[in-house]
Amino acid sequence: MPHNRQKKIAVINDFCGFGRCSIAASLPVISAMKIQCCPIPTSIFSNHTGFDSFFYTDYTEHINAYIDEWVKLGLQFNGILTGFLGSPEQINIVKRFLGLFNDDNNITVIDPVMGDYGKLYPTYSPILADQMCTLVPYADILTPNLTEACILTGTDYKPDMSKEELAEICKKLSDMGPKKIVISGLDRGDDLENFIYESGKQPQAVREHKVGPFRSGTGDVFSSIIAADAVNGVDFIDSVYHASSFIAKVLQRTVEMDLPKTDGICFEEFLIEI
C-alpha cells in the first residue's frame, strides 16, 4: 500500500504545546532521523505540569475512533513508542493498538513513565502502576529510569545501586518480555549513567558529564532516539551511546543559552546533526 512505502513510528503520548516534552519532542527528533512520526495524543496540554498553570483536556474518549481510521487506511508501522499513560483505560487502549498493529516486522519501545527519585508521580496511583506492569511483556525495548525499574520489579529503591544489582533488576524485567533494557538517568555524582542490558550479552554502562538541572522532555528525546535507531537498524548499545551523547551536547547548549528550567532542552539547535 502506498501509505507504507516510508518507515513510520507510531507515538502514543500526550501533546504539550510548550515545554518541549512528549509528542512535541518525539515528532521533530524522529522526523530528523528520516522516519515518519505518527502521533496518537492521549491528552492535550497548553504547557506541561511543571508550570504554575496550564490548560489540559483528556483525549481518552476519542482515541479508539482515531485508531480505527488508521485501520481503515491499512497503515503499518516499523516502530511503536509509548510514553506517559494516565489511566488504566489508556493502557488498555495501547494494548488494543498493539493487537492491531504490532507484528514481527516492527519494534515496540515502551517508556514506562511513572515516577522518579524513588516515588510515583503525584498523579500516578499504585493501581495504575500495576497496570503498567501488564504492558511490559509487549516491549521489545524498555526504557525505565531507576524508580520505574524498581516499581515494575517490586525492588526496594536505593539511588546508588551497584552494577550487579542493576543487572538483577534488568534480568527480572527481561523475564517479563523485553530483551533490551536501558535504565536511564542514574546519578553518579558528577556524571549521569545509562545502564544497558541486552539478553545474552554482558551489561554495559554509558556515562556523560552532568550538565545543569533535570529538565522536562529529556526522557522523551532519549526514547525517541532509541526507537528511531532501532527502526533504522542501529545496534542497541550504539544507540544508547548516540542518545546519551546527543542529550549531553544539547544540555550543554541549553545551559549556555540560560533557558528557564521549565522550557526543556533546546534540541532544535542540533537536529541537523542527529
Closest CA to 148 of 259, 56, 223, 260: 223
pLDDT of residue 11: 98
pLDDT, one tens digit per residue, over 127-178 is 999 999 999 999 999 999 999 999 999 999 999 999 999 999 999 999 999 9
Q: Is the dihedral of CA 78, 83, 88, 89 positive or negative?
A: negative
Q: Where are the domains of the chain?
A: 2-273
- Whole-model pTM? 0.96
Q: Which residue has the cell 516515588?
A: 119
Fold of 2-273: UDP-N-acetylmuramoyl-L-alanine:D-glutamate ligase (3.40.1190)
Which residues, 6+ apart, have CB-to-CB distance to 142 below 8 Å? 109, 110, 112, 136, 173, 178, 180, 181, 182
pLDDT of residue 122: 84
Name the E strands within 177-258. 180-188, 191-198, 204-209
Q: Count of alpha carbons within 13 Å of 216, Cβ hemisphere only?
A: 21
pLDDT of residue 136: 97
pLDDT of residue 189: 86
